[in-house]
């Protein structure tokens, strides 16, 4: 158990809909990262937060948004969903941003858009 | 922009054979991390390399950071079926991952 909790584990929704994925980081971790992993593909970096503030953005679509709340949990909002958004979405957390500490990953949320 | 290539993309080996994956950057890296993702699982941190020419070992796994800090390798000696998975290198403080190398081990 990595200590990072992601909910829900599975989500099936229709095209055009909006969903929210939730991530609770490990206790004490201030930095949260979101990734998209399509079937048999690599980990595409979406966005990073540190202590409530957006720190870095990757190839995140305009239809996607995220935020980190004062209690440090984070939510990834995906709207106007398309079939191609079907993927595994991972959240990771670390004590601090940067490369000095390891990141811990949640189990992921598998999103299926039908 | 910075580009990091990970090779090979796939590797199939017989159990007992060695395996190596490489992470090559077009620019100097401050440090590098390696992660392993088992099939159906999530990435798990393996190690971090910081110094030029650094070599670290974990049992049958040997990690190296190049002298110029532009490349890194992960070598597994005498693979076992438990080594199956995808190995990713990670670079920059955004925790961006390389494309990964998927290892399949046949018994």
Q: How confident is the model at residue B94 (pLDDT cuts 50, 70, 90)?
A: low
Per-residue pLDDT for B1 more than 60? no
Mean pLDDT of A51-68: 94
Q: Which residue of B21, B30, B42 is the best one to mutate when testing the A interface, meaning the one whose CB has the most A CBs within 10 A?
A: B42
Instruction: Using alpha carbons, select from B48, B86, B104 the residue that is nearest to residue A90.
Output: B86
E strand intervals along B41-95: 43-49, 55-58, 61-65, 71-76, 85-91
The model's pLDDT over B36-78, given as tens digits with 9 standing for 90+, comes to 999 999 999 999 999 999 999 999 999 999 999 999 999 999 9
Closest in A43, A99, A103 to B31, CB measured: A99
């Amino acid at each position: 158990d990595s200590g990072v909790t992601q909910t829900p584990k599975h989500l099936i929704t229709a095209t055009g809909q909006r969903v929210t994925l939730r991530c609770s980081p490990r206790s004490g971790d201030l930095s949260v990262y979101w990734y998209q992993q399509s079937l048999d593909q690599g980990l595409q970096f979406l966005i990073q937060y540190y202590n409530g503030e957006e720190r870095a953005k990757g190839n995140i679509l305009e239809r996607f948004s995220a935020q980190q709340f004062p209690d440090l949990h984070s939510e990834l909002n995906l709207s106007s969903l398309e079939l191609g958004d079907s993927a595994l979405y991972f959240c990771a957390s670390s004590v601090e941003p940067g490369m000095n500490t390891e990141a811990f990953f949640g189990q992921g949320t598998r999103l299926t858009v039908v | 922009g910075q580009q990091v290539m990970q090779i090979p993309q796939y590797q199939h080996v017989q159990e007992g054979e060695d395996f190596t994956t490489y992470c090559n950057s077009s620019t100097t890296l401050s440090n590098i991390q390696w992660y392993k993702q088992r099939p159906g699982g999530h990435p798990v941190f393996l190690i971090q390399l910081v110094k030029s020419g650094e070599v670290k070992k974990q049992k049958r796994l040997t990690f190296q950071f190049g002298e110029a800090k532009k490349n890194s390798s992960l070598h597994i000696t005498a693979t076992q079926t438990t080594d199956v998975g995808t190995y990713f290198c990670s670079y920059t403080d955004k925790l961006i991952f390389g494309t990964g190398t998927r290892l399949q081990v046949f018994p």
